[in-house]
Structure 1
Amino acid sequence: MYDQLDVAIESALHIIVRYNVGSTRQLLTVWLFSKAFHELQVKVIDTTQQVKVTEAKIDQLKRGITRARLTDQELSNIPKGIKTYENLGRIFVSQSIEDIRKSLAERINAANDKIEKLNAS
């Protein structure tokens, strides 16, 4: 794509030079500005894509935090003597409510740390 643009710019310059439109210095300046503008456009597109990816990651982490908080809130209403299980992939492991709540708190803290790092970058 970039090569095609360079070819198009060069062919336009040859046409302009052939018909003596403007001075060579002006043509070179126009060509350099157009090439620099194109490079800036590419950088803007890349940066915009990176921002969108980062925002998507942050949204996903926020949804995980919300889910963990809701789970923790529901676990706080369960009496202590009730058997609870934590999902580990395809299996469920018997865990105490306190252990599950600690695990949820760790997930929330880890997600908040990742969000801070993503916002800093």
Structure 2
Amino acid sequence: MIDLSKLEKSPETTKVEASNNIFSELGKNTYSYLDVISELIDNSIAARRTDMILEVTIKLYFNQKNKVRLFSITDNANGISQDKLGIAITPAGVQSCQSLNEHGLGMKQAIAALGKLKYLATKTI
């Protein structure tokens, strides 16, 4: 066992800076489009309103080579409030036991697997 009372505080300060490289690393996974859709629908379910039926619309936009170039998902769930948006898109920023994703990485990994994020929008009620 370590005797914490004998430990000394280091006189040095370590600075940790945020990096966008985490998203390219999160994107190195085996997510399929089905996995991505599942993660995003799970987020819609987690944010659903109890006074109405959840409606989720998924759109895939293809190019002439039949490759998905744009992906859109919308729902009538609660959305993310402006003051919580930053933490919501921060890797591991939000952790929950109330959905399939317990570590706050599911949506971020799913989006990162698709490539570069072109646009992110949310709504509040």
Give the TM bin, normalised by the shorter chain.
under 0.3
User: Which has the bigger relative contact order, CA under 8 A and spacing at least 6?
Assistant: 2
Higher helix share: 1
**Structure having the higher Rg:** 1
TM-score (norm 1): 0.23
